[in-house]
Structure 1
Amino acid sequence: MPSREEITYFGAGPALLPTEVLKTAAASLVDYNNTGLGLAEHSHRSELATGILNTTKDDLAKYLDVPNDYEILFMQGGGSGEFSATVYNMVNVWVERRKQKILKELGVEESKIPENDLVQQLQKAVDEELKIDYVVTGSWSLKASQEAARLVGAEHVNVVADARKINDGKFGKIPEESSWKLSKNPAMVYYCDNETVDGVEFPGFPKILEPNGDDSPLVVADMSSNILSRRIPIKNYSLIFFGAQKNLGSTGITVVIIKKNLLPPVVGTPAPTLLRKLGLPIGPIVLSYETIAKNNSLYNTLSIFDVYIAGQVLKSLLATFTDKVDGQQAVADKKAQLIYAALDAHPESFKVVPAKDARSRMNICFRVTHLESVDESEKLFLKGAVEKGLTGLKGHRSVGGIRASNYNSIPLTGAEKLAAFIEEFAKTPK
């Protein structure tokens, strides 16, 4: 059996973790700081746990340069949970702001207007104006849009752009921004910055969504698979979320970075009775950003052990890169360039799936066309890769092919080994 040092794991998630982080975490799982208890056994409400949580938040803010007017929340439920949470919370914000606009137009305080009159006007606004915008560029943004339609109704969901319409029914491109059909004052504009299944990554923040004063859209992004790998213009976003299990840590926690002006006391939360009258869904309290923020992410039992692992990953990154995320971005870009260059050098043996201007640095998706049969080619490729200690390369079950997930924990030497094997495989007799 191969040792840990002999393999490079390119799995898409749960992903490879730094060995030193795992060794530290393993010791802490048995006895944390000579307390006689393992970290997973300590109360999440203990001073020890709070210290770990706050330190991890501070280090994440330091590494990504998170502005002071943003709050960092640790939650559970993964990215899929956030598909729902973003809808619940952002629709709440939209309803509250729309209510305040109605009151301002009427020139009255809420206590001075008959409740039925206010509900009637709000209902009209919900029916005619409420929209949630989705840019669909892959499997995950598609699922997010479908969850929104399930929760609030398809009539309130606007697909701004669907990449399949410009790519023969398949994902692999990002539609030109000039073709996007944005709603007027949507509850949010949602996109997935990096699609793990389809190997598509936005090259940068969409220009069409850049802040433009009071009319700036509320932009929400899923960054589960490329967070910590490049600099983010956080000020352009209202909310960013990401599961930990790609670049940050182990499965079990999800991080939300949210602008504080979307939380009380800046903006209120509609009463459940009002939402029921409007026919809008009421989210579970564990998905309420207000509740999680008020309780410093400790409303319910948070996995402090998983927070600790994330914290150790961040400490390792901060120690490695004095220029923080910019240093990691340079490495991530170099690794991706090495692998793509090897693939592009042999078009007769390999076909990169997404368009060149939409290629992900994190999830490199390609087909092997070395033999007449693609299936046989890919079986041969995967078998040879495993023999070289290159594992986890099989593509997602929904699309097949090969997928090399080039997350931060993949060392430069790992990318070099894969590039060398691609070169070697292309030269094998057909």
Structure 2
Amino acid sequence: MAQQISYFSPGPAKIPEEVLRGLQESLIHYKDTNVSVLELSHRSKDFDAILQKAETVIREVLDVPGNYKLLFMQGGGTGQFAAVPLNLISRTGKADYIVTGSWSSKAAKEAAKYGSVNLVVPEGQPYTGVPDRSCWKLDPDASYVYYCANETVEGVEFQSVPEVPPGVPLVCDMSSNYFTRSVDVSKFGLIYGGAQKNIGCAGVTLVIVRDDLLGNPLPTCPVVLDYTVMTKHRSLYNTPPTFPIHVLGEVIAWVKKEGGLAEMERRSLEKSKILYSIIEESHGFYSSPVDPGSRSRMNVVFRVGGAAGEEDLEKKFVDAASQLGLLSLKGHRSVGGIRASLYNALTLADVQRLGQFMKKFQQENKA
């Protein structure tokens, strides 16, 4: 009998088994085309149907208003670190960045190549939460305000949408909590996220942009990062990541079938509560470095053996977990510790298995 596997990777992450089985069939013959889905021309009617299906289900599940365009782009989130300022900063030459972790910090540094970047909160490490709104310094003349909704490295998540000055577009990197809870898209000028955590496989980045923000990129903006060009050509200006787009559409269809965003949010809260409760009740054996009000539902980050963690004990934890099929629990190399990523495809049973292991590991090593 094969060993049971629970995969807690921060990305590329687990894809629902039901979706994988459907994809498996399409790898040889996609419907009645007699060719693999990997081989379909991006100019064919068959791929156009795939693209249209993905667009339709995304709009339906996320309730995307009609004045927003959907783009399927390449380059991942890192590509969007440049694409956002290249497309949006020209209005005033300035942008506000709320830096709360590694990814928003990298985005701010990239944006500084193209204009003036104001750090809304004092940048500092370690990142342990979203600073109180009273210390924010927002520029009402900024071209946009940027933030990362969930920092995968540090396990910090915004629990609400930031309020910004009137008329200033809000830009959000939702790579790691896309489609995990209901979102009022109309509050944003632009949302983007790589697919490889909650909504598919690596290779495609879903961009949702309000149409009034199109049409004014910097002259230096490469055509493959130009939202206006990509909108005009329905993401088909060049060969798009055809298979990742297909996977994305199938995963969002699965989200819809499972109960939509309300159900994904319910599950994420239930799963993360299991681990945070064990951490809080461990009398210091496990510890979370993140402020309770900013703890991520997606990436539960913790130390083993005290607040600073014990490296040998944490290695023992990861090794013992791996032997039981609890995989990819090592924390990011920049911060160490343990990280359990609880994306949509992770089941409650997966998390319960990890919780049982954590309790047993504590009992056997608490001395």
Report the TM-score, using the length of structure 1 for normalisation. Answer: 0.82
- The Cα shift of 1:387 comes to 2.2
Q: 1:303 to 1:338 in 2, by over 3 A?
A: same
Q: 1:64–1:228: 8 Å Cα contact kept in structure 2?
A: yes
Choose the corresponding residue for 1:159, options 95, 119, 128. 119
Aligned to 1:302: 240
- Report the Cα distance in structure 2 between the residues aligned to 1:373 and 1:158, rounded to whole angstroms: 34
Matching residue of 2:252: 314
The whole-number CA distance in structure 2 between the counterparts of 1:271 and 1:399 is 36
8 Å CA contact retained: 1:225, 1:246: yes
Match of 2:320 in 1: 384
The alignment status of 1:424 with 2:360, answered yes or no, reads yes
Cα 1:370/1:380, change in 2 over 3 Å: farther
8 Å CA contact 1:134, 1:190 repeated in 2: yes
Shift of 1:271: 7.9
Q: State the 1:46 CA deviation.
A: 0.7
Contact residue 133 and residue 160 of structure 1 kept, 8 A: yes
Q: Which residue of 1 aligns with 2:143?
A: 187
Q: Give the corresponding residue for 2:193.
A: 242
Cα distance in 2 for residues equivalent to 1:137 and 1:372: 20
Match of 1:406 among 329, 333, 342: 342
Question: What CA distance in whole angstroms lies between the structure 2 residues aligned with 1:189 and 1:380?
Answer: 42
Instruction: Specify which structure has the higher proportion of helix.
Output: 1
Question: Is the CA contact (8 Å cut-off) linking 1:162 and 1:175 kept in structure 2?
Answer: no
**Could you tell me which residue of structure 1 aligns to residue 49 of structure 2?**
51
Three-state SS of the structure 2 residue aligned to 1:51 is helix
- Where does 1:140-155 land on structure 2 (aligned, <5 Å)? 140-152=103-115
Gaps of 5+ in 2: none
The answer as to whether partners of 2:287 and 2:306 remain within 8 angstroms in 1 is no
Over 3 Å counting, the alpha-carbon distance change for 1:371 and 1:173 in structure 2 is closer
8 Å contact from structure 2 (residues 77, 194) kept in 1: yes
**Distance in 2 (alpha carbons) for counterparts of 1:334 and 1:163:** 32
Shift of 1:347: 3.1
Across the two proteins, how many residue pairs are aligned to each other? Answer: 366
> Which residue of the other structure, out of 177, 184, 202, is the alignment partner of 1:226?
177
8 Å CA contact retained: 1:138, 1:195: yes
How much does 1:309 deviate? 0.8
The answer to whether the aligner puts 1:260 opposite 2:211 as a matched pair is yes
Query: How far is 1:343 from its partner?
Result: 1.1
Cα distance in 1 for residues equivalent to 2:241 and 2:107: 25
2:292 equivalent to 1:342: no
Q: Which runs of 4+ in 1 moved over 6 A?
A: 370-373
The alignment status of 1:134 with 2:72, answered yes or no, reads no
Change (3 A) 1:60 1:225: same
CA 1:293/1:380 → structure 2, altered by over 3 Å: closer, same or farther? same
Q: With structure 2 as the length reference, what TM-score do the two structures score? A: 0.96
Structure-1 residue corresponding to 2:288: 352
Cα distance in 2 for partners of 1:158, 1:371 equals: 32
Answer whether contact 2:264 2:344 (CA < 8 A) is retained. Answer: yes
Letter of the structure 1 residue corresponding to residue 249 of structure 2: G
SS in structure 1 at match of 2:178? coil
- Taking the aligned partners of 1:19 and 1:85, their CA distance within structure 2 comes to 33
Please give the alpha-carbon distance, in whole angstroms, between the structure 2 residues aligned to 1:27 and 1:370.
Answer: 48
Structure 1 residue 270, shift from structure 2 partner: 6.2
Give the percent of matched residue pairs that are identical in Structure 1 and Structure 2. Answer: 39
Q: By how many angstroms is 1:370 displaced?
A: 6.5
Partner of 2:13: 15
- Specify the SS of the correspondent of 2:334: coil
Going from structure 1 to structure 2, the CA distance change for 1:425 and 1:132 (only over 3 Å counts) comes to: same
Structure 1 residues 31 and 176: alpha-carbon distance in aligned structure 2, compared to 1, 3 A threshold: same
> Partner letter of residue 409 of structure 1?
A
Distance 2:308 2:361 in 1: 15
Aligned residue type for 2:111: A
Q: CA deviation at 1:151?
A: 3.1
CA distance in 2, matches of 1:40, 1:175: 45
SS at match of 1:6: coil
Distance 1:373 1:228 in 2: 32
Deviations 1:356-405 (A, max 9, x none): 11100000100101699701110111122112211100011111110000
Distance 2:7 2:341 in 1: 8
What is the aligned partner in structure 2 of residue 31 from structure 1? Answer: 29
Kindly indicate whether the alpha-carbon contact (under 8 Å) linking 1:163 and 1:173 is maintained by their aligned counterparts in 2. no
Name the counterpart of 1:67: 65
Describe the SS at the equivalent of 1:220: strand
Structure 1 or 2, whichever has the larger Rg, is 1
Whether the aligned pair in 2 keeps the contact of 1:364 and 1:405 (CA below 8 Å) is: yes
What's the CA shift string for 1:224-249, capped at 9, x where partnerless?
A: 00001011121110000000000000
State the 1:163 CA deviation. 5.2
Q: Which runs of 5+ in 1 are unaligned?
A: 96-129, 273-281
Q: Counterpart of 1:240 in 2: which secondary structure?
A: strand
Q: Is the 8 A contact 2:288 2:307 kept in 1?
A: no
Map 1:272-291 onto structure 2 (within 5 A).
272=219, 282-291=220-229
Counterpart secondary structure, 2:12: coil
How far off is 1:258 after superposition? 0.8
Residue range with higher mean Cα deviation, 28-37 or 220-229 = 28-37
- 1:205–1:233 CA contact under 8 A, matched in 2: no
Instruction: Determine the C-alpha separation between the residues in 1 that align with 2:131 and 2:182.
Output: 23
